[in-house]
Amino acid sequence: MLPSGDPQLVQIMDAALADAARRSGAWLVCKPGCTQCCVGVFAIHQLDAARLQQGLQQLSASDPERARSVRERARKSVERLAEDFPGDPATGLLDTSEEAEARFEDFANDEPCAALDPGTGLCDLYLSRPMTCRVFGPPVRSEQGLGVCELCYHGATEEQIADCEMPVDPEGLEGRLLAEFEQSSARRGRTLVAFALDGN
């Protein structure tokens, strides 16, 4: 069960994205059907995994056929990923060793997300998507500096890009909720979307 504060986290992040999109205007070209950020695996924490699983359960109730398609895509994705998975393919947990993390850099960069409907180019679990998905597109600061989607901000100066920066969880709510969830559920470690959805 998700922590009671998770809807607040989602609301904060979505509001920050909407504000960054407003400031970005035409430079932010993200729109329904663009799948640039939906191809290539990325690590998610257990709070993201639980949110996805809850979203899939809700989809099962409202649209069983779409939910079945998501589960089938997740199953096939896990089958493709298992052999070279830099972690434990039985649990779906990524290894945290330096060697495994280095392998993950070049792992499955062409694998579509299991939540992505290949026919429509839309996310079947959009309202339950991981935090990484909620911050992709606008300028976001990381250890490497200010990063943006390669399709966006063409013609913008560095200063203009900086003016559109999206603050990501400045109060640290996500970290607190993740710690709370890990303690209450005993679910720890990072995984992938496909593993989170396979069998759920």
Which residues constitute the domain of residue 116? 6-197
Confidence of residue 200 (pLDDT cuts 50, 70, 90): low
| Residue 39 within any structural domain of the chain | yes
| Residue 171 within any structural domain of the chain | yes
| Residue 1 within any structural domain of the chain | no
**What pLDDT does residue 134 have?**
93
| Residue 48 within any structural domain of the chain | yes
**What pLDDT does residue 185 have?**
93
Count of structural domains, the chain:
1
Give the length of the chain: 200
| Residue 89 within any structural domain of the chain | yes
| pLDDT over 80 (residue 89) | yes
| Residue 19 within any structural domain of the chain | yes
C-alpha to C-alpha distances, 4 to 19, 47, 69, 133, 176, nearest whole angstrom: 25, 12, 29, 21, 12
Q: CA 198 to CA 61: how far, in whole Å?
A: 17
What pTM was computed for the model? 0.93
Helices (H) and strands (E) in the chain, counts: 8, 6
Question: How far, rounded to the nearest angstrom, does the alpha carbon of residue 42 sit from its chain's CA centroid?
Answer: 7
**What pLDDT does residue 142 have?**
86
| Residue 29 within any structural domain of the chain | yes
Q: CA 67 to CA 43: how far, in whole Å?
A: 22
Strand partners, 88: 93
| pLDDT over 90 (residue 104) | yes
pLDDT digit string, tens, across residues 16-50: 999 999 999 999 998 888 998 999 999 999 999 99
Confidence of residue 199 (pLDDT cuts 50, 70, 90): confident
pLDDT digit string, tens, across residues 157-167: 999 999 999 99
